[in-house]
Chains A and B, each alone.
Chain A
Amino acid sequence: MSTEVVERPPQAPPAPPDASPPTTGRMRPAAIADSAGGMWGWLLQRVTAVVLIIGLLTHLVATHIFNLGHLSFLNIGDRLGSTFFVVIDVSLLAASIFHGLNGARMIVLDYWLESRASRRALSIVLWVFGSAVFVYGMWALWPWISR
């Protein structure tokens, strides 16, 4: 058996075992976990998105294509005399309030409110506010719906 020295290709030195994670190029895992708005918020945001795409398309075409220049109290009443548009408008009201406020909440959570308690407080405030706006919106639509 020969005793010649085998030439090894140069290798990078192994990383020290206690190397701290890089501080740039990635978020802290904890920050990623904290940035999540929760499973139900995520799911409802997508469900309301689909409702909004269908509902807003109907709403915009009905009001700004077919009734452009004809909008009035009575013109709204003509549409809300049909169950179809009542369903469209009420689901738009609910879906848009949730989608908008949850979207605003996600922006807030991206930058502020580190603690679990403050995040929970924000959710409660937004649910109370959103529910109130929905009731107010229904009150506003009621003269047309109940005709």
Chain B
Amino acid sequence: MSAKGGSVTPVDAAATNVGAGNWKGLGMWAWLLFRVAGIVLVVYLFAHIGVISSARWSGHSTLNSAFTLFDHPLFVLLDLLLVWAVLFHALNGVRILLMDFGLGIHRHKLVFVGCMAVAVISLGFFAFKAFAYIAAHHAGGLGGLV
């Protein structure tokens, strides 16, 4: 890609898939999910800061009761969705960093698949912990919220 204010040659455009060719294939989904996950994480970040700061507004018990609520299976499952957003965004981000350094730039689909494999395996680890926790603490049914 040429510098700021320069022109894009047809070779540049073909190499970087600039323009009409964007909306097809794996790269489009990687880009779209990266953005969606990013927006979800920004919203969560501010909610997270808000919840943690509640201890400062109304004392320890407010925060502790929030944590009790978050131990409910429904919130554990929502946490798992959040972990997936983190893992997808992080590992696709790793791919982007690798591309910035020119690493694997001719095998970028393979790099993407490799990054996603790491994300899925990590998610499996968190999912195992989450379901084991739900099974251990809520075996008698989903009391409380639902």
Contact = CB atoms under 8 A, between A and B. Distances in A.
Contact of A140 (B2, B46, B53): B53
Question: Looking at chain B's contact residues, is the secondary structure mostly helix, strand, loop, or mixed?
Answer: helix
Contact of A133 (B35, B46, B64, B70): B46
A120 interface: no
Interface residues of A, number: 41
B126 A27 contact: no
Nearest to B3: A33
B105 to A, nearest CB: 16
A38 B63 CA distance: 40
Interface string A68-85: 110111101000000000
A40 interface: no
Contact of B53 (A64, A97, A104, A139): A139
A140 B56 contact: yes
Contact of A53 (B1, B49, B52, B94): B94
B49 A60 contact: no
A107 interface: yes
B42 A64 contact: no
A26 B8 contact: yes
Contacts of A101: 42
B9 to A, nearest CB: 9
B18 A27 contact: yes
A36 interface: yes
| Residue of B7, B97, B133 with most chain A CB atoms under a 10 A cut-off | B7
B34 to A, nearest CB: 9
A33 B60 CA distance: 50
Contacts of A65: 126, 129
Nearest to B61: A73
11 contacts: A25-B20, A26-B10, A33-B5, A36-B4, A46-B97, A68-B130, A72-B64, A73-B63, A100-B45, A104-B42, A143-B56
Interface of B: 1-2, 4-8, 10, 13, 18-21, 35, 38-39, 41-42, 45-46, 49, 52-53, 55-56, 60, 63-64, 67, 70-71, 79, 83, 86, 90, 93-94, 97, 100, 126, 129-130, 133, 137
Given A32-B8, A71-B67, 20 more contacts: A25-B21, A29-B8, A46-B97, A49-B93, A50-B97, A53-B94, A60-B83, A64-B79, A64-B129, A68-B130, A72-B64, A73-B60, A93-B49, A100-B45, A104-B39, A104-B42, A107-B38, A133-B49, A139-B53, A140-B55
Q: Would you list the 10 A-B pairs with minimal beta carbon distance, nearest first?
A: A140-B53, A100-B42, A73-B60, A26-B13, A26-B19, A71-B67, A29-B7, A33-B4, A25-B19, A103-B38
